[in-house]
Structure 1
Amino acid sequence: MRVGRHPDPESSEGSSDPDTFIVHSMTHGDRHTEMSGLAARSIQHALIPAAGQGTRIHSITGNNEKELITIDGEPVITHAIREALESGCSEIGVIVRRDKEGLVSYLRTNWANTVQLLWQSSPGGLGEALLAARSFVEASSFAVILPDDLVWGAQPAIKQLIDCARTTGKSVVGVAGPEEMTHPMFADCGRIGLARAPKVEATRTHGATYNPDKAADRRAVIGRYVLPPQSFDVLDAAREVSNGELGEGPVLRTLAQRGDLLAFEPFGECFTVGVPDGYRTTKKKIESPE
């Protein structure tokens, strides 16, 4: 069994930013051309950010890069690359620092003909990582897969988000299910707020508007996104006024305010391996299931 796959018969669907996004049902008639229009485009580009320092998992990794820790016998970076490939993405960029020599060597040895290495000078948040990939993506919509987060099941998680984006013409962020929110491994993940409404046809899909005071149901953001190319302009503007790490929050906020963001619960069991407790739990559940 591989990451992104789940034997659900009905299957057909980490941010450090503190903002909360309220999610409700929505129609798909009116679209803002500035940040949407995903429906008619195939998503060929996938970005895999891997330039972080991995300080939270250092007690497990020691001097090794966190992207090389193994789950089910393979490094998590390999699971992320395969998820992109199995989702139909033909242009895969791994965003990495040159001083992560072990990871760079692994990618060049095993994936030289599959991925393009995109260089980030220093870690500075997911927003900075995405900006490092701007010339690679150009004017295309793109998927984002964080290798820290795994969705273990029958269908690749990012493919589920891509299908949702194609169907609705909206950008999409992945969220954990309600039963997964009780696990401490998700304590440090970013949150969005969900509020179901009767007109939602797909129970795993929720529309989003930015209004942090009315969250009815808060969920952890898992590291899966489908975003438009205009995201880079939003991040550029946010960088000019940022005093610290640049997260993806400005993009999600802009999309949500325009009614162009969906939250999606992919089929599969969600894990985050970027913290020691999450890594141990993931290893146990996947490699030694009861």
Structure 2
Amino acid sequence: MKAVLTQSQSEIFMNCVRKAVLPVAGLGTRVLPATKSVPKEMLPIFDRPAIQYVVNEAFEAGIEHIVFVTGRNKSSIDDHFDRAYELEASLREKKKYDILDQLEAERPIAGSMSFVRQQSPLGLGHAVWCARDVIGDEPFAVLLPDVLVKATPSCLTQMIAAYNDRGGNIIAVEPVPHDQVNMYGIIEPKSRDGAIIEMAGMVEKPSIDDAPSNLSITGRYILQPEIFNLLSNQPRGSGGEIQLTDAMATLMKTQDFFALEYEGESFDCGSKQGYLRAFVRFALDHEREGEASRATLRRLLDENAASSV
């Protein structure tokens, strides 16, 4: 006999954040030539590809289904989250059970991932729109895969807690130095209650003198499904692309938008220095290899200092 949800149960179910969109179709031009033949999302951050950290963050937050919006030459992402029968058999034969356990621990549940193709590079808004049929009429998360966030609990976990309290749309933010606000998307606060900020607007890379705050948009969002209708008719904006921020600004006229100043630190792996910072930080914080990584870095710095004298 089929279980039938009551109306209140259906409303609760439809208001839960169960799905996440990861736009992975970008070319990674800021870190060329490393990404000429390797997707930027598959560049290693110490002992696993960058995309694995983002997926782990999503699943830790309770996400049940991830939609990857891919492009050409991104098949290695699909392969990474599939089973590697020959590799697993080899590890089992060589009794390397610790490595095998690591692989199995991060293997997604069957059916928990979908892959859709963004056939033309028309911007982040268009990439999110490509996931519309899989997301359906539900609130959903967006995680930019070239932004890694170190946080406990995870950034998305903190956001979902804020969403469950306030509803609406949630954007993760963090403070940046005032003299660097012209490098980021910056929110305009309206009111504040602890870490949750009601938003009045957002500005992309404002001048230092005109910035409404120093709270930068991090690359984590929880959005209502009405954003898809706006993206369907969204004219091209900056760079000739369909911008997600333009659609959010329109949605803000009719729906609540909140920013969460989360506890944690972000790393822009789409830039070479951001990638280096992420690699070093994750190496230093590694549960088993942290001390060895620290010793290696000290030795390299000492050698470099000695050679400079």
TM-score, length basis structure 2: 0.71
Which stretches in structure 2 are left out of the alignment for 5+ residues?
1-10, 84-106, 286-293, 295-309
Give 1:40 deviation, angstroms.
7.7
1:108-119 alignment runs, 5 A limit: 108-109=82-83, 111=108, 113=110, 114-119=112-117
1:1-290 alignment runs, 5 A limit: 41-109=15-83, 111=108, 113=110, 114-178=112-176, 188-194=183-189, 197=191, 200-202=192-194, 204-210=195-201, 215-239=211-235, 244-258=240-254, 260-288=256-284
Deviation by residue 1:64-84 (Cα, 9 ceiling, x = unmatched): 110001224111111111111
Deviation by residue 1:35-85 (Cα, 9 ceiling, x = unmatched): xx9998111011111011111111343421100012241111111111111
Give aligned pairs, total. Answer: 247
Letter in 1 for 2:199: A
CA contact (8 A) 1:44 1:89 kept: yes
Q: What is the CA–CA distance in structure 2 between the aligned matches of 1:75 and 1:243, rounded to whole Å? A: 29
CA contact (8 A) 1:208 1:262 kept: yes
Q: What is the CA–CA distance in structure 1 between the aligned matches of 2:13 and 2:182, rounded to whole Å? A: 33
Letter in 2 for 1:164: A
Change (3 A) 1:147 1:81: same
Q: What is the CA–CA distance in structure 2 between the aligned matches of 1:131 and 1:188, rounded to whole Å? A: 26
Runs of 4+ in 1 over 6 A off after TM superposition: 37-40, 240-243
Deviation by residue 1:205-238 (Cα, 9 ceiling, x = unmatched): 1111137697431332111000000000111111
Which stretches in structure 1 are left out of the alignment for 5+ residues?
1-36
Q: What is the CA–CA distance in structure 1 between the aligned matches of 2:146 and 2:118, rounded to whole Å? A: 18
Letter in 2 for 1:201: D
Change (3 A) 1:39 1:175: farther
CA contact (8 A) 2:189 2:212 kept: yes
CA contact (8 A) 1:140 1:229 kept: yes
TM-score, length basis structure 1: 0.75
Q: What is the CA–CA distance in structure 1 between the aligned matches of 2:185 and 2:12, rounded to whole Å? A: 24
Partner of 1:5: none
SS of the aligned residue for 1:258 comes to coil
Judging by fraction of residues, say which structure has more helix.
2
Q: What is the CA–CA distance in structure 2 between the aligned matches of 1:76 and 1:97, rounded to whole Å? A: 17
CA contact (8 A) 2:186 2:211 kept: no
